Structure 1
Amino acid sequence: MEEEQGAARQVPAPRAGSTLLDRRASLFEGPVGRLRDLSPAYFGLVMATGIVSLGADMMGLPLLAQALFVLNLLQYGALCVLYVLRAIYHPRQFFGDMVSHLRGPGYFTAVAATGILSSQFLVQAGNVAVGFSLWLLAVVLWIGLIYTIFTAFTVKADKPTLDKGISGGWLLSVVATQSVAVSSALLAVHIGQPYRLELNLLALSMWLWGGMLYIWMMSLIFYRYVFFRFLPDDLSPPYWINMGAMAISTLAGSLLILNAPQAPFLVSLLPFLKGFTVFYWATGSWWIPMLLLLGVWRYGVQRFPFRYDPLYWGAVFPLGMYAASTWQMNRAMEFGFLGGLPHVFLYAALLAWMLTFAGMVRSVLRAGRRPPGTV
């Protein structure tokens, strides 16, 4: 009995706060811990869903458009919460990704997603107040991210070589810029003077800047294509943004053409607007066969495994955007003969969206069943 009492006295008492520490450790190994590796480009989910919803609304599919609109609201809210939690619990990864040459441009999906959701509220819900608030948020995010990211890329001491540091994901900065142009042009339609002219000027300026940014970046990306070794792993889904950036530029140009009667200075620029809008559309159209051939080479010839990746939303979005932009350009330019093409690409985008969404749900369910602390 005395030996048992002595042994009991030698057992250390539980440390105060040890339960709290254990809970904190468990939290960081569980769902919050998994936020450490959340892709900066996950707002591509909202971009893809939003443009398919807008395309469906344009082409007379209101039930599908409204269902995707509601879903997009939920997705946007959930991602905002997840990104805030990641910034709080994993600030080193959150801000470290922002200055990474490969991962940093993914943050521009937050700008584009906000701009597209603003457009949805303006077009599908007719809610100018919420649309304006989201447009303002998109502008603030654009200013903050574009100068933070590119300043960091410029001044950082250690930089990757061109073949290791650039990808099609860099063109998300163009998409973000043009999303502000699109939402500004749409907001100008729904708002009166004295701000209608200013919004159209902002839309025009962002449209022009986005085009210049595309020329700079596409020159580097194309140079990387043809003068450096290209492996299947290098052909990530965001390379479809090569086309998507031109598609959203076409959409912005088409809206500016339609807005010309409201802004006299746009009337004088109509030949320029129409010429460059067709130029953007033709460039985006050229990329489609090229990207399909590269996809066949990646998955068919090189046998690259086909599994879910958040970056695949960057391939769904361009398909939906090409459908929407072609529909608007056909309307703005009064071509008429392009009427069937937007429907083909809308259904292709919808199919791609469903397959990617199913892959995402399966990935989330598998991650939920995975024991905490495992990869």
Structure 2
Amino acid sequence: MATGILSVGLHLTGHAVLSGILLALASALWLALAAAFASHLVRDPARWESEADTPPALAAVAATTVLGTRFSLFGWQTLAEALLALAVLVWPVLLVEAVRHWEPRMPGGVFLCCVATEGLAVQAATLASADGASWLGHTGMVLFWGGLVLYVLALFHFDLRQLATGAGDQWIAGGALAISALAASELVTTGLWNDDDTGALRSASVLLLTLDVAWYVVLVVAEVWWPRPRYDIRRWSTAFPMGMTAAAALSVGTAADAPWLRGPGQVLLWIAVAVWLAVLVGALRSLGPLGPHGPLGSLRSLRSLRSLRSRAPR
């Protein structure tokens, strides 16, 4: 998700080479994760079902729509349509399972129900503009408003203490609004609506972007006030909302006829790239010999576990 949206943002700012490199990387990662997802379904259905019950499973849908949107912008409409069809097939199953297992005081992953739904809206609107398929645009409109409803419902389940204790996925609270703003701006560009509807979508895109930026500021302040410098895999859920905020600012600037947003959008994009690189370095270090997931780190963890067992009362 993070890699794909940065590819989109770099495409919007004219950095074709960097965008292409990240697109290739995002495609490779998507294929690897899709293979693992399918393998769990075939070899260990019980594990697959337990993973599908959680909101983070919806990241599969969101990642597919982000990648499909980037392919559509690249001009590969057939591939983008295939990815949209795949995402649509998986989305209702994972959405129902995730919502059924909502609990009070959940981490930021609860907002992925909105992110996945708005991702479908973004890709449907992008394809509607490229193919002239009005039914896709109207479907995207329904998904857009549905995603906002899911955001409000998820907000009631979000644990605000995650601002101080979250490991990175608390940023999805803002990122969900960013992808909603992006969906509204993409729907504007389809040209399918009358003046009133177009005006409402433009206003919605600006309002959603404003709320997203407010979340962005709050989350940055929380990171400074309660620093969490250690790497966690959920930090990828920080890079994605940052990149999505940048892409939303660039897209809303075009749809709402506010070219001044391009400058802030570019600044936010390079901040997101820097965070993405930092998270990548952390991930590589965690897989190194001394990292917690490397061979020596695993051996150290095993020795610690044995030590604890030996000290346990019998």
> Would the TM-score normalized by the shorter structure come out above 0.5?
yes
Matched, 1:257 2:227: no
1:162-190 CA-partner distances (Å, limit 9, x unpaired): 23xx1211001101000000000011122
| Distance (Å, rounded) in 2 between the aligned partners of 1:181 and 1:136 | 13
* Partner in structure 1 of residue 112 of structure 2: 172
SS class of match (2:14): coil
| Distance (Å, rounded) in 2 between the aligned partners of 1:233 and 1:294 | 6
Cα 1:251–1:232, aligned 2, differ >3 Å: closer, same or farther? closer
| Distance (Å, rounded) in 2 between the aligned partners of 1:257 and 1:286 | 23
Instruction: Tell me which of 319, 333, 358 is aligned to 2:281.
Output: 358
SS class of match (2:138): helix
| Distance (Å, rounded) in 1 between the aligned partners of 2:157 and 2:223 | 21
Which sections of structure 1, spanning at least 5 residues, go unmatched?
1-46, 155-159
Note if contact 2:167-2:232 (Cα within 8 Å) is conserved in structure 1: no
Larger-gyration structure (1/2): 1
Instruction: Tell me which of 100, 108, 114 is aligned to 2:58.
Output: 108
Matched, 1:278 2:206: yes
| Distance (Å, rounded) in 2 between the aligned partners of 1:232 and 1:186 | 33
Instruction: Tell me which of 71, 90, 102 is aligned to 2:25.
Output: 71
Matched, 1:287 2:215: yes
Amino acid at match of 2:35: V
Cα 1:326–1:190, aligned 2, differ >3 Å: closer, same or farther? same
Note if contact 2:69-2:126 (Cα within 8 Å) is conserved in structure 1: yes
* Partner in structure 2 of residue 149 of structure 1: 98
Amino acid at match of 2:210: A
| Distance (Å, rounded) in 1 between the aligned partners of 2:175 and 2:195 | 27
* Partner in structure 2 of residue 10 of structure 1: none
Note if contact 1:235-1:298 (Cα within 8 Å) is conserved in structure 2: no
Report how far residue 90 of structure 1 moved. Answer: 4.2
Note if contact 2:122-2:182 (Cα within 8 Å) is conserved in structure 1: yes
Which sections of structure 2, spanning at least 5 residues, go unmatched?
306-314
Report how far residue 361 of structure 1 moved. Answer: 1.9
* Partner in structure 2 of residue 138 of structure 1: 87
* Partner in structure 2 of residue 217 of structure 1: 154
Amino acid at match of 2:73: V
SS class of match (1:340): helix
Within a 5 Å distance, the mapping from 1:222-237 to structure 2 comes to 224-225=159-160, 230=161, 234-237=165-168
1:212-251 CA-partner distances (Å, limit 9, x unpaired): 1112222342xx42xxxx3787323111111101111111
* Partner in structure 2 of residue 307 of structure 1: 230
Count of paired positions: 298
SS class of match (1:316): helix
| Distance (Å, rounded) in 2 between the aligned partners of 1:267 and 1:208 | 18
* Partner in structure 1 of residue 312 of structure 2: none
Amino acid at match of 1:293: V
Cα 1:231–1:316, aligned 2, differ >3 Å: closer, same or farther? closer
Matched, 1:206 2:143: yes
* Partner in structure 2 of residue 8 of structure 1: none
Report how far residue 308 of structure 1 moved. Answer: 2.2
Matched, 1:49 2:13: no
Amino acid at match of 1:172: L
Note if contact 1:257-1:266 (Cα within 8 Å) is conserved in structure 2: no
| Distance (Å, rounded) in 2 between the aligned partners of 1:321 and 1:214 | 16
Worse overlay, 73-82 or 105-114: 73-82
| Distance (Å, rounded) in 2 between the aligned partners of 1:245 and 1:137 | 21
| Distance (Å, rounded) in 1 between the aligned partners of 2:189 and 2:248 | 13
| Distance (Å, rounded) in 1 between the aligned partners of 2:163 and 2:116 | 27
TM-score (norm 2): 0.88
Note if contact 2:111-2:151 (Cα within 8 Å) is conserved in structure 1: yes
1:19-71 CA-partner distances (Å, limit 9, x unpaired): xxxxxxxxxxxxxxxxxxxxxxxxxxxx0000001100100111100011111
1:308-334 CA-partner distances (Å, limit 9, x unpaired): 222111100111111111111111111
Matched, 1:296 2:224: yes
